[in-house]
A and B are shown apart, each in its own frame.
Chain A
Amino acid sequence: MSVDSTTTTQGTAHRNMTSGQMAWYRFTRNPAAMIGAFIVLSVIVAAIFAPFLAPSPQSAGSFVDFRNRHTAPNAEFWFGTDNVGRDIFSRVLFGYRVSLGMVIGVLGFAVPFGVVLGLAAGYFGGWIEFAIMRFTDVMLAIPPLAMALAITAVLSPNLINAMIAITMLWWTWHTRLIYRIVRAQMSEDYVEAAKVAGASHTHIMFRELLPNCVSAISVKISLDAGFVILFGAALSFLGLGVQPPTPDLGTMVSTGSEYLPEYWWEALMPGLAILYAILGFNLLGDGLRDMMDVEV
C-alpha cells in the first residue's frame, strides 16, 4: 500500500515518537487501512444494534407481508424486499449478527488450539514436532470446503455444526504460523537466557515466546475474520449452514438466487453485504500487517 512512502517520511519527521505512536501514525496515514477500520466498525455496530437500527425489525423472523413482496429497492426498502415481503436491509443487519457470531465462535476455539499446538511443535521439536506438523500437513491437504461439507452433512446441517466444521479446519493455519515464528525465535538469546535461568517449559512457551507472536496472531485474526464470514456464507449458500428463517447472508443469497434475474436485488444485495464485510476485514488486516510490520 502507500505505506512505503509514509514510513520513510515519518522516520525523519517524527523521531521523538514511541514505536507505538509511530505504528498508529503509519496506520492513520494508510487510507486503505482506515477505510477497512471504518467498514469493520460499521459492521460491528450494525450487528450489535440491529434491533434498533433496522427499519423493520420484525423482518428478521418469519414475518410475512405479501402486499410488499418482490419490491425493488426504493426509499422505504433500501435493499428491496424478498419473496415474502421482508425488508432485505433489516435482514442484512441481523445477518451480520450471525456472521460475527460465527467469527467469534470459530476463531475463539481455533486460534487458541492452533497457537498452543504451534508453540509446542516449535518449542519441543523432536517427535512432538513431527507428530503435530505431519498431522497439520494432512489436515491442510484436505480441500477445506469439501471437508466442511462432509462434516456438516454427516452431523446434519445447522449453524453450530457449520462452526464445528470450520473450526476443525481453521486451527492448522495458526499452528503453521506460530510454528514458523517460534522456530525463528528459538535461537534468540532471550530464550537461551530463560532456559539457563531455569524457567519452566510453560513459562518459556507462554511468557517468553507467545508475546512475540501476538502481533502476527492479531493480523492473522483480522484477515481470518473475513474468510470465516466467506466460508460460513458459502456453507449456508449450499444449504448446509444456517437454516431459515434465521437471517443469514449466505442463505439469503441462496433463496434470492431462485428469483434471478427478474428480482435481482434479492440475491445481489445480501451478496454485496457479504463482500462489504470481507473487504473491511481484509483492508484492516493488511493495514495492521503494514503497521506492525509482520509476515503472515
Chain B
Amino acid sequence: MFYYLLKRAASLFLVLVGLAILIFVIARIVPGDPARIALGPLASAEQVAQMREQMGLDLPFHTQLWNYLVGLTHGDFGKSLLTSRPVSADIMQALPATLELVLFTIVIQIVLSIPLGVLAAIYRDTWVDNVSRIISLIGVVTPGFVLAIILQLMASYVFTFFPVTGRLDGGLDFSADVTGLLLIDSILAGRPDVFGDAFMHLILPATALAAAGIGQVMRITRSSMIELSGRDFVEASRAYGVPERVVTFKYMLRLACVAPLTILGLEFASLIGNAFIVEFVFSWPGIASYGVRTILQKDLNAVIGVVLVSGLFFVIANLVIDILLGILDPRHRLREGASK
C-alpha cells in the first residue's frame, strides 16, 4: 500500500510540474509586455524598462522559468498587480471560502447521489427509477449559472429565508481564524447563530454546484449496483441465505462505491471550474471570484497562481480518491502496484 501511494504521488507530482511549466509558457508567449500592463499606458519607456528589470523579464527565458519554479517550491507566486500584495497571501485569504463551498458540495453530492443511485437500482424500472433518471438528466444538462440564477429567483420569490449573496450576514461579527471554515470555526467558538447563518448561505451555491455531479454519480451508482447484483459472489451469498439487506448494503454497496468515487475525482476539475461561475453569481469571496477579478485585469501572476492552486486541488483530490479506492477494493492497489 505504501509503495502504491508513493508511486501515485510521484506521478501526480510530475503532472503538477508539467502544469506549472505549461501555464508559465502560455503566459509568456502571449503578446503584450507584462511590465507595460502592470504600469498602464501612461508610464514612460524608462519606467517600463525599470519594471522589466525588477520583474526579471530581461533574463533569458529558461532562467525566468527556473526562477519561477524555484519560487513555487516555497509558495512564492510573485506579486499581484491588482492588489500589490503577494499572490500567495491573496490566495490564502480567499481559499477557505472556496474550500468550505467545495467540501460542502462534495458532502451533498455523496449524501444524495449514492443512496438515490442505490434506490434506483433496487427499484429498477419503477417510478422511483424514472424519477431518479429525470433528476439526473436535469442535473447533467443544466448549466451551473442557469441553475444558480433559477435558485436566486426562487430565493427572492419563494424561499425568501435563503440569503442570496456572500458567506455571512453583515450584521454578524465573527472572524474565522482557526481553520477559516465558518462551519467549523463557529462550532469551536460556540456560536450557533454564526453556524446557522453560514449554513444558510452555503445551501444555494452548493446546490447549484452539486447538481451536475449528483446526476452523474447517481447513474453510475445505479448501473454498478445492477451489474454487481448478477455477479457470482452475490448469487452465492444469496444462496447461502444471507439476508438481501446484508447482501445489498454490506457486500454490494462497498464495491458499488468504486465507480462513483472515480467519477467524483474526475468531476472535481469541473467542480472547481463551475465554482468560478457559482462564486461569481453568489458573490462568494473565494479564489474563483479572485480569479475572475484578476483575469479581467490581466493580472498574470495572480491568474497563474489561481490556475496552479486549482490544479493542485485536483491532484490532491485524486490522490485521496486513490487511497479510498485502495481501501474499498484491494484489487485496485494490487493491480496498480504490480504494473511495472
Contacts and interface: CB of A to CB of B under 8 A. Distances in A.
A146 B291 contact: yes
A60 B141 CA distance: 26
A103 to B, nearest CB: 15
A40 to B, nearest CB: 13
A143 B272 contact: yes
Interface stretch (A105-113, A114-122, A150-158): A150-158
A283 to B, nearest CB: 8
A130 to B, nearest CB: 12
A154 B270 CA distance: 21
Given A238-B276, A239-B296, A271-B150, A146 B26 contact: no
A233 B23 CA distance: 24
Most buried by A among B149, B296, B304: B149
Contacts of B14: 134
A138 B19 contact: yes
Contact of B277 (A150, A151, A238, A267): A238
A116 to B, nearest CB: 20
B307 interface: yes
Contacts of B152: 260-261
Contacts of A146: 272-273, 276, 291, 306-307, 310
Nearest to B299: A153
Contacts of B149: 253, 257, 260, 267-268, 271
B274 A145 contact: yes
Interface stretch (A67-75, A88-96, A201-209, A272-280): A272-280
Interface residues of B, number: 48
A278 B215 CA distance: 15
A226 interface: yes
A282 interface: yes
Interface string B128-153: 00000000010011111110011011
A95 B323 CA distance: 45
A38 interface: no
Interface in A246-279: 250, 253, 257, 260-261, 264, 267-268, 271-272, 274-275, 278-279
A153 B315 CA distance: 24
SS class, residues of chain B in contact with chain A: helix
A253 B144 CA distance: 12
Contact of A143 (B26, B143, B269): B269
B298 interface: yes
B244 to A, nearest CB: 23
A138 B22 contact: yes
Nearest to A267: B149
Nearest to A154: B30
Interface in A220-254: 226, 230, 233-234, 237-240, 250, 253
Contacts of B144: 234
B19 A278 contact: no
Contacts of B104: none
Nearest to B14: A134
B206 interface: no
A285 B43 CA distance: 54
SS class, residues of chain A in contact with chain B: helix
B156 interface: yes
Given A134-B18, A142-B269, A282-B140, A147 B296 contact: no
A226 B212 CA distance: 14
B269 A230 contact: no
A278 B273 CA distance: 18
B295 A230 contact: no
A138 B270 contact: no
Contacts of B292: 149, 238
Contacts of B311: 141-143
Contacts of A261: 152-153, 156-157
B269 A282 contact: no
B122 interface: no
A65 interface: no
Given A261-B153, A261-B157, A271 B310 contact: no
Interface in B1-40: 14-16, 18-19, 22-23, 26-27, 30, 32
17 contacts: A137-B15, A141-B15, A141-B269, A141-B314, A142-B19, A142-B23, A143-B273, A143-B314, A146-B291, A146-B310, A149-B303, A150-B23, A153-B298, A238-B277, A240-B296, A253-B149, A268-B153
Interface of A: 134-135, 137-147, 149-155, 226, 230, 233-234, 237-240, 250, 253, 257, 260-261, 264, 267-268, 271-272, 274-275, 278-279, 282-283
Given A135-B18, A282-B140, 6 more contacts: A143-B310, A149-B303, A150-B304, A238-B276, A240-B295, A268-B153
Pairs A-B, 10 closest by C-beta atoms:
A145-B273, A153-B295, A271-B146, A138-B18, A261-B156, A143-B272, A154-B30, A143-B269, A279-B141, A278-B141
